[in-house]
Structure 1
Amino acid sequence: MSAFLWITVVSLAAWCWLLLGQGFFWRTDVRLPRRREPDEWPSVCVVVPARDEAAVLSASLPSLLAQDYPGRAEVFLVDDGSTDGTGELARELSRRHGGLPLTVGSPGEPPAGWTGKLWAVRHGIALARAREPEFLLLTDADIAHAPDSLRELVAAACTGGTGGFDVVSQMARLRVESLWERLVVPAFVYFFAQLYPFRWIGRPGSRTAAAAGGCVLLRAGTAGTARIPDSIRHAVIDDVALARAVKGAGGRVWLGLADRVDSVRPYPRLHDLWRMVSRSAYAQLRHNPLLLLGTVAGLALVYLVPPAAVAVGAAGGGTATAVAGASAWAVMAGTYVPMLRYYRQPLWLAPLLPFTAFLYLLMTVDSAVQHCRGRGAAWKGRTYARPGAVPDEG
């Protein structure tokens, strides 16, 4: 056997293992767990960090104000130094639409060691504590919720076995309209689920922890026990860090796909999607060059070798190479089909997953390059240093 055939066989074996041994990550049937409405609905405070979100707020904030929730609930929008009138627009939308009470606050610039979003979340939670809520819903300013979203989240948290769940998080359905969104967005959720299989996250005793920052229902008592957000104040990937902190404090976490929680933020150009991924990709690898090299090699082996093997085999490199490559490519495309169906996209996109994976490989490398140039984790006018590069608070 040639060296390339051996590599192709390893790639096929990797796909067989991913198909059966990685928590069935490719399935899209992990939705809100079975739930029963509580006899007495707990109080909830909704915290919305927002920085320069006027372009999307009109499509998202009214959905929160219009929540059909039987218990006491109110919304705290934290205007994180916006220059586009986000806070004023939020107040106007509240006056126009009514619904749940709205409080707009502003925390000022974050101190060293804090990301802007988590500093805003800290301020929002501090405002909410005066109401002594039992739950906090942390949701982004670009997320639109169906009228029963809060009701369903709380019911799921209260029904989740002994003591319920401490975190119930839904991966919002991202916008998929432009060509680049069709190519990149479903794969983003697919890759996330591959790293953090949803079935493993909710399993008692499992160490796998993740959440989706756009929609996180968190018990207020657990937030205090896990010292959220102070314990994760420097985290760029704050949703995964939050879930890890909750599990580290003995809490239970559930994560699944959403049916009626949607992101309204557009990413019409490849540049927009590139920035979304590259700003945090190297942080995901803990700023470790060895992990970067391993990730690049792994992406190449798993996603790029199969189509390359088909091309090499067709060009005269051997039938066995072509068959092994085609088999691995078929398994790859087959595991991607459920996510395409979830996003209501044409199935002919499934064989293009190697191309999308190659884009993600380039985005990851670019994330490391930008970090080395001092421009890593840049977002909305702020650039964050890697953890440890700034002194912690006492």
Structure 2
Amino acid sequence: MKEIIELYRLLQDEKDFQKKYPQFNPRDGKIHILFLSACLNGTGYYRSITPSMELNRSQTHASIITSIHKWNFNKQSLEYDNALDSSESTKLIQWADYVILPTVLTDTTYIAKALQALNPDVQLVMDIDVNIHATPKEHPQYDKITKQQQDQLLKNISEMNLLIGASEGLLDYYDELLEKQYPNSSTFLEYIPNLISAYGYAEVKPLKKNASDRIRIGIIGNASSAMDTLNISDVLKTIQDKYKEKIELILLGWNGISPKGELALQGIQFTYVKSVGFLDYFDALNELALDIALVPLADIPYNTKGKSFVKYLELSVFRIPTVASDLAPLNEVIDSNENGCLASSHEDWVSSIERLISDSSLRERMGSSALKAVWRNYSFTSHTLQIFQEIFI
């Protein structure tokens, strides 16, 4: 994360325009991509920061992020400072071939007109990595997202030149919505997967192995994914009742308390590890020293038509064998019993976890296979960079 932190500080503190934006060169013959309002969270990291940094290693594209902000859960992305009428912003907009906006739930008419007034040839792009329209009632954000905001988001999308999304299911969902409500929209939809980058792992400590005599089984999540964990609560109870002190169940990011303040995981003993800021997330994941990871998904559109497979990628970087729900998008990247296990029933979950508990060599083989697969297929390489190069032309 060192170079990301350095970029964050540069954009926060540097006053000299050319030092702040060294990629600014209107005559370099490259395609220019401008990202607005990145935040130091998972979305900002995967959808703006690392794509921008990786594109700048190419010979064909140059990328600039206007600013990076500490993430505020209560703010929308464009509520951060982005003065489009400043001389600095004017230069950047006139330089850009594409301007990429984050998901915006308020009216983007003004910002779109301002951008096009400064640069009539600019292509407007919105990026989306969560299904706002399918947010379930159990989600902490459900009561905070109004029908008016959902309608406005779809209108915003319909007026973009391009919508890019983090999963194919997510784009299929919004394609259908656009077809129904804005049949005359000319917005193109393109899939750009979340990819892992060496920039995020350069200073992470060597792989930490479990030194205890208990098998450590982990679930990574937060309050918004509590319904997914609850979806396998019977599995967790079965495994714990059978193996007792031989295993340790670990939750990173969710304390097992429901939004109503009730203990949701009744009868299940687990170790709770508090969530950390994104800059410390990869180190925290490594420090867990997990032997097995579980990635459950409830079979609802918010997941299958919204989420990406990034959690699996993150676990695989640390060679952690994963048991995951046999649903999109996870079954798009997991070859069951090779680089992970897919489960669609109580029996599938239990048998897969039991095999990994009892066979350390299987854990090692599956973890190594997952590590190789994600760096080969879902990291920034000359091949995956072609996705960006073919979309932004």
Which range, TM-score by smaller chain? under 0.3
TM-score (norm 2): 0.25
Question: Which structure ranks higher in relative contact order (CA pairs < 8 Å, sequence separation ≥ 6)?
Answer: 1
